[in-house]
Chains A and B, each alone.
Chain A
Amino acid sequence: MSSLRQPRGAGTRRRTGLPDQKAAGWLFLSPMVLILGLFLVIPIGMALWVSFTDWTGRGSPFSSRVSFVGGDNYSALITQEGLSRQDFMLSMRNTFYYVLGVVPVQTVLALFLAVIVNQKFLRGRTFFRTAFYFPSVVSSVAISLVFLYLFTGTGAINRALAAVGIVGPNWLQDPRGVLHLLGDQLGFWNIDAPPSGLASTQVMNLSLWEWMKGPSVALSTIMIQVIWTTAGTFMLMFLAALQDLPTEVEEAAMVDGANRWQRFRYVTLPHLRPTVLLVLTLGVIGTWQVFDQMYVMTQGGPAKTTLTPAYLSYAAAFNQQQWGQGAAIAFILFLLIFVLTSIQRWVLRDGDEPSRRGRRTRVSARPETAVQP
């Protein structure tokens, strides 16, 4: 970033001194500008146009046979009663529970793995780090195939569960909601006869009973898979941050009599704060885009409980030939991720700067507060 501001004066001087840099500069940039412009910037404009039309995929989207329909594609998803809105709301509900489940669990698991792999006495650290990180470098398609096999009704997972006396569900075929099942177990309701107040009240084309379903068993299986796959990447980020933590700080806290948990809570965790926020941000951006697993494993089923906006957008355009609808979903998803990222950037910036400034004072201040009874 500093280079943006700093070389102003120097730049002017050099530009006059070395006139060939302008030509060379644009020559060096031209392949990138051409490819990103042609395959990224222009297409986004085209898709924006398509999202306001009824194009069916035949001929050019700019031909005179394609009609401009204004915001119809967007209102069909948000304000109008109908199947489009119902599917879209289902996909939003599914992904909401998906993000809510995956992001915290993968963050905590990654932090946990980083902390135990970072123990000083540990032998074979490289082996364990490699084992946990390896799934991150493997294709999502290959991992999906393995999990499809592990989680079949008579597959490895259910055999292992049977060995300890648990009858596992038919994982990827099971559309029942986890919260519905939980309430049923706890005696709040009967899953086969939902409370009529919840079942009959409709909000945005879905009953309250549907909204509070939680992730289905099938979606939970995909959540387990994604947590398992990505925790390793985030573990590496936490490991890098942990190795940045000066040992003197830990030692100072130890001299002050802080126990292990207090040292973790008041020395390590504040040091990791920027990394935690980064991991949460990347997690939210990544999880809202979930697509590959749905494409390979479930195609949105069973009973649309693994439908996500990304998959719905793809299916609407490429399978149902409703290109305007598909493009509109993509732009809504784009906007949603943009808003969430902006909020988190703001939190990240807010959290990063003071913690950097405060680190020096915290070093001496925190352990003292930590040892108070």
Chain B
Amino acid sequence: MRTRTGAGRQVAVYAALVVFAVIYIYPFIIQLSTSFKTDAEANTNPLGIWPQNPTSEAFRRLGEEDFPLWFQNSIVVTVIVTVSRVFLCSLAGYALARLRFRGRDAVFTGILAVMAVPGVVLLIPKFLILNYLGIYNTFPALFVPLMVDAASVFIMKQFFESIPPSVEEAARIDGAGTFRIFWSVVLPMARPALITLSILSFQGSWNELGHFIIATSDPALFTLTRGVAQLTSGGLGAGNQFPITMAAALLMTIPSALVFIVFQRYFTQGANAGAEKG
């Protein structure tokens, strides 16, 4: 009795999983296969997995336009943002977690307040300051405002509070200065948190759209998200030329996919670290 219902249940669970796996994976398969189809086949046979006349025409045409430049901009911005967030946010997180000084609690309250501001209402304010400072439509406008992130400071503070202070105290007795303790003693211990933060920063800046819309207007300063979003309104003449849009979507997904596959277990932690701030 028990085994029979168990077997029926197992079949039901597997059936549900397979249905959902198809719903979740098939769109990516269509994306992959369409990017190798001709325009005509993309319109007449959207469901087919194997292109009848495989062609890399879509990629070639992307390569002829601004796409490589956007890709390059995205990589440069993502690297700068990730490196600076990891360094600056752990510095700040460490100060908030361990150093004793007047004004620290006020700064931390400020961090919590900043985290409560919904990102999308900042589009106009960010444009105003970039414009006011005269750096609107320049390359630094793409990354400088993203170099620090309140939620990342919060995550690092929580992490530093979770490790025992005894090692730092030993180093302090040996006469090491505060920055030296931070750099040579604390940061090496913080490796898991630093990896989680790197991944969150990478993901955040690679996929960011809103900030890049309001920071520049020159196509030479577009990132991938901004440039590719333009494709739908007929940029590169791609209005209904789906192989081009699918190829663009595919190419911008590959770096995310690689990072995701290599660091999968950190993603799980990251999702939950992000959750705790709520």
Q: Contact between A334 and B118 (Cβ–Cβ < 8 Å)? A: yes
Q: Give residues of chain A (150-186) contacting chain B, Cβ–Cβ below 8 Å.
A: 150, 152, 154-156, 159-160
Q: Contact between A150 and B27 (Cβ–Cβ < 8 Å)? A: yes
Kindly state whether residue A297 has any CB partner on chain B within 8 Å. Answer: yes
A contact face: mostly helix, strand, loop, or mixed: helix
Contact among B89, B104, B119, B182 with A32 in the assembled complex (CB-CB below 8 Å): B89
Nearest residue (CB) in A for B23 is A228
Q: Give residues of chain A (224-242) contacting chain B, Cβ–Cβ below 8 Å.
A: 228, 232-233, 236-237, 240
Q: Contact between A130 and B124 (Cβ–Cβ < 8 Å)? A: no
Q: Give residues of chain A (119-170) contacting chain B, Cβ–Cβ below 8 Å.
A: 119, 121-122, 127-128, 130-150, 152, 154-156, 159-160
Q: Give residues of chain A (289-323) contacting chain B, Cβ–Cβ below 8 Å.
A: 289, 291-292, 295-297, 299, 310, 313-314, 317-318, 323
Q: Contact between A113 and B20 (Cβ–Cβ < 8 Å)? A: yes
Kindly state whether residue B262 has any CB partner on chain A within 8 Å. Answer: no
Known: A39-B126, A334-B121. A142 touches B178 (CB 8 A): no
Q: Contact between B232 and A145 (Cβ–Cβ < 8 Å)? A: yes
Q: B249: which A residues are within 8 A, CB to CB?
A: 141-143, 145-146
Known: A20-B178, A43-B125, A61-B128. A122 touches B246 (CB 8 A): no
Q: B88: which A residues are within 8 A, CB to CB?
A: 31-32, 35
Q: Contact between B253 and A138 (Cβ–Cβ < 8 Å)? A: yes
Q: Contact between A145 and B96 (Cβ–Cβ < 8 Å)? A: no
Known: A24-B179, A42-B129. A139 touches B225 (CB 8 A): yes
Q: Contact between A44 and B122 (Cβ–Cβ < 8 Å)? A: yes
Q: A20: which B residues are within 8 A, CB to CB?
A: 177-178
Kindly state whether residue A331 has any CB partner on chain B within 8 Å. Answer: yes
Known: A32-B148, A137-B256, A334-B117. A146 touches B27 (CB 8 A): yes
Q: Give residues of chain A (3-43) contacting chain B, Cβ–Cβ below 8 Å.
A: 3-4, 7, 10-11, 14-15, 18, 20-22, 24-26, 28-29, 31-33, 35-36, 38-43
Closest-CB distance, A89 to chain B (whole angstroms)? 19
Q: A149: which B residues are within 8 A, CB to CB?
A: 30-31, 34, 42, 46, 242, 245-246
Contact among A31, A36, A132, A314 with B24 in the assembled complex (CB-CB below 8 Å): A132
Q: Give residues of chain B (23-46) contacting chain A, Cβ–Cβ below 8 Å.
A: 23-25, 27-28, 30-31, 34, 42-43, 46
Q: B97: which A residues are within 8 A, CB to CB?
A: 3
Nearest residue (CB) in A for B207 is A139
Kindly state whether residue A278 has any CB partner on chain B within 8 Å. Answer: yes
19 contacts between A and B (CB under 8 A): A28-B95, A28-B178, A29-B91, A32-B91, A32-B148, A43-B129, A44-B125, A131-B24, A139-B252, A141-B224, A152-B46, A160-B47, A240-B272, A285-B118, A289-B120, A291-B210, A318-B214, A326-B124, A341-B116
Lowest 8 A-B CB distances belong to which pairs? A43-B125, A28-B95, A25-B101, A39-B145, A142-B249, A24-B178, A47-B125, A32-B92
Q: A119-B13, A142-B248, A314-B123 are in contact. List 12 more A-B contacts (CB 8 A).
A: A40-B122, A41-B114, A43-B122, A46-B125, A47-B125, A145-B228, A156-B47, A237-B271, A289-B118, A292-B209, A318-B213, A326-B124
Tell me the A residues contacting B by CB distance below 8 Å: 3-4, 7, 10-11, 14-15, 18, 20-22, 24-26, 28-29, 31-33, 35-36, 38-44, 46-47, 50, 60-61, 113, 116-117, 119, 121-122, 127-128, 130-150, 152, 154-156, 159-160, 228, 232-233, 236-237, 240, 278, 281-282, 285, 288-289, 291-292, 295-297, 299, 310, 313-314, 317-318, 323, 326-327, 330-331, 333-334, 337-338, 341
